[in-house]
Amino acid sequence: MKTNGAVIAWGYNGSGQTNVPIAAQSGVMSIAAGHEHSLAVKTNGSVIAWGWNNEGQSIVPVAAQSGVIAVAAGWQHSVALKSDGSVVAWGAGTSNTASFPHYGQSMVPIEAQSGVIAIAAGGLHTVALKTNGAVVAWGAGTNITGFAPYAGQCIIPIEARSGVTAIAAGLYYTLALKTNGSVLLWGSGNFGVMSIPLTAKSGVSAIAAKYDHVVALLGTGLVLPVSLTARKSENEFILSWPRTAIGFKLQSEVNLAPSMTWIDCTNVPVINDTEFTVTDTRSENRKVYRLKKF
């Protein structure tokens, strides 16, 4: 995704997943790549999907045609996070037949229907991060049989039930980043993915995962000053700043005077792969925003 809101895609194109539609060539604020389909969120809160559609993963439901701020894409399912903290999922897994590819990964549980700030999609499971720092997961892996895809990737360890700041999901595993910079990993994976290297056991500020590999960012990775970006979307302002800028709070003020009093924004930031995002209702009065380190 470019700074002008255009999407560029490349690589394997067997299902048209790199043929970016006109609608995603401008005005895009968030993207996700699945197995053979692609997703984009427009500044107006609508979702654009293209590529493989064997399970309906590229047919955007009405619930994801407005108010969306982030997306995630799995093997054959799609997930959207709405500005009200609810999650919408579609494609494979709208039922749980316990046979491929339907394991309930698109059946959003009550816990993920409100208060969610980040989402991730694994191969056959879905993960959400709540405002209280707890992780919720559903789909394949609510049990462990020793055979894929039942690898326990949806069994949340005690350490991931609080204090989590970011999540990611691989094929049959789940990843969480704690506030102290440590990484949690559970489920099953190949090629050594389940063995966290010593250098990634502390001081981590961001994580990413795909089917059988994990990437972790050490330190802040931050180039100062931190940039705060504001975009208009109908009757709302969408404010964002880099995901690596940990420890900042958004504040606002309506009167630029020497005696100004900055007020903390009460809206909880939503986290995606690259940035924190806060949606604020536009008012008739002019409002100024800033980031404050705490």
Q: Which of 150, 215, 161 is nearest to 187 (CA)?
A: 150
- Model pLDDT, residue 259: 66
- 20 or 239: which carries more pLDDT confidence? 20
What is the per-residue burial (b if ≥16 Cβ within 10 Å, else e) of 88-126?
bbbbbbeebeeeebbbbbbebeeebeebbbbbbbbbbbb
The model's pLDDT over 87-105, given as tens digits with 9 standing for 90+, comes to 999 999 999 998 899 999 9
Terminal-to-terminal C-alpha distance of the chain: 30
- Model pLDDT, residue 232: 78
Average pLDDT of the residues in 248-266:
79
The model's pLDDT over 228-250, given as tens digits with 9 standing for 90+, comes to 888 877 778 888 888 767 678 88
Q: Which residues pair with 32 in a beta bridge?
A: 39
Asked if 251 and 241 count as a contact pair (C-beta separation under 8 A), the reply is: no
Q: Which residues pair with 218 in a beta bridge?
A: 204
Residue whose pair of structure tokens reads 């049989």 in the numeric block: 145
Mean pLDDT of the chain: 90
Q: How confident is the model at residue 285 (pLDDT cuts 50, 70, 90)?
A: low
Give the C-alpha separation, 260 to 121, whole Å: 43
Give the C-alpha separation, 131 to 133, whole Å: 5
Task: Read off the amino acid at residue 52.
Answer: W
The model's pLDDT over 200-222, given as tens digits with 9 standing for 90+, comes to 989 998 899 988 999 998 876 55
Percent of the chain with pLDDT over 90: 63
For residue 11, is it left (φ>0), alpha (ψ between -120 and 50) or beta?
left
Q: Is the dihedral of CA 15, 18, 22, 28 positive or negative?
A: positive
pLDDT above 70: residue 258: no
Average pLDDT of the residues in 192-202:
91
- Model pLDDT, residue 253: 84
- Model pLDDT, residue 241: 87
- Model pLDDT, residue 224: 55
pLDDT above 60: residue 127: yes
Structure tokens at 156: 């949340």
The model's pLDDT over 28-60, given as tens digits with 9 standing for 90+, comes to 989 999 999 999 999 899 999 999 999 999 999
Q: Which of 262, 222, 260, 254 is nearest to 241 (CA)?
A: 222
